[in-house]
A = this chain, B = another copy of it.
Amino acid sequence: MIKLLIYEDNPQLREGLTMLIDGSEGFSVQAAFRNCSNVVQEVTTYQPDVVLMDIDMPDVNGLDGLKLIKATKPDVSVLMLTVFDDHQNIFQALLSGANGYILKKTPPAKLLEYIQEASTGGAPMTASVAAQVLRMFSQMNLPADKDYNLSEREKEVLQYLVKGYSYKMIAAEMFIAMDTVRSHIKKIYEKLHVNSKSEAVAKAFRDKLV
């Protein structure tokens, strides 16, 4: 038996969901609320397996509700259930640890299936949402994986530069003469095609050499 809590401000939809889910074999809706004002207490009291969470609610919205739940009981599976499938909301929800993100237009049969999935550790997502998630991923800043053929020693020096060490300090750290540090740095500049410390540091970050 999967125990659920529902958060949804629209009375019709709240009732509808409750009836649908509670009326189905293996599902039990413990309670349904119109906002997240007492979400922490409610989750603690009812110990649900899955929470259906609307995003757009008065007072405390669904994203905050999600964060509150995850902060207190991270094992509760939270399914975001909303009409919006825009980037911003999806991203926020997933960053806050949502276990799934499905749209309200999802047909009842699918919805029950999704809840089932969520309760067993899955991550149900409406297809359009999943597609957006993947797009975010591939647009994520990749390691870039440039190389520049820096020698080991040169990489070391670069690390110190990034840390803001002066030539003198680097020399001390590496047990070599300051002039040697200089020549390493000169070589680094050549290889990175830059001509100042700041540019080298910037490039190190951009190309994930650090």
Contacts and interface: CB of A to CB of B under 8 A. Distances in A.
Interface of A: 94-100, 117, 120-125, 127-128, 130-134, 137-138, 140, 142, 161-164, 166, 194-199, 201-202, 205-206
A131 B138 contact: no
Contact of A164 (B125, B142, B199): B199
Nearest to A101: B134
A127 B123 contact: yes
Contact of A197 (B131, B132, B198): B198
Contacts of A134: 94, 97-100, 123, 133
Most chain B CB within a 10 A radius of its CB, from A162, A202, A206: A202
Q: Can you tell how many copies of this chain the complex includes?
A: 2
A166 B196 CA distance: 9
Contacts of A95: 137-138, 140, 142
29 contacts: A94-B134, A95-B138, A97-B138, A98-B134, A99-B131, A100-B130, A117-B127, A120-B127, A121-B127, A121-B131, A122-B130, A123-B127, A123-B130, A123-B132, A123-B133, A123-B134, A124-B127, A125-B130, A133-B137, A163-B199, A164-B195, A164-B199, A197-B197, A198-B198, A201-B201, A201-B202, A201-B205, A202-B205, A205-B206
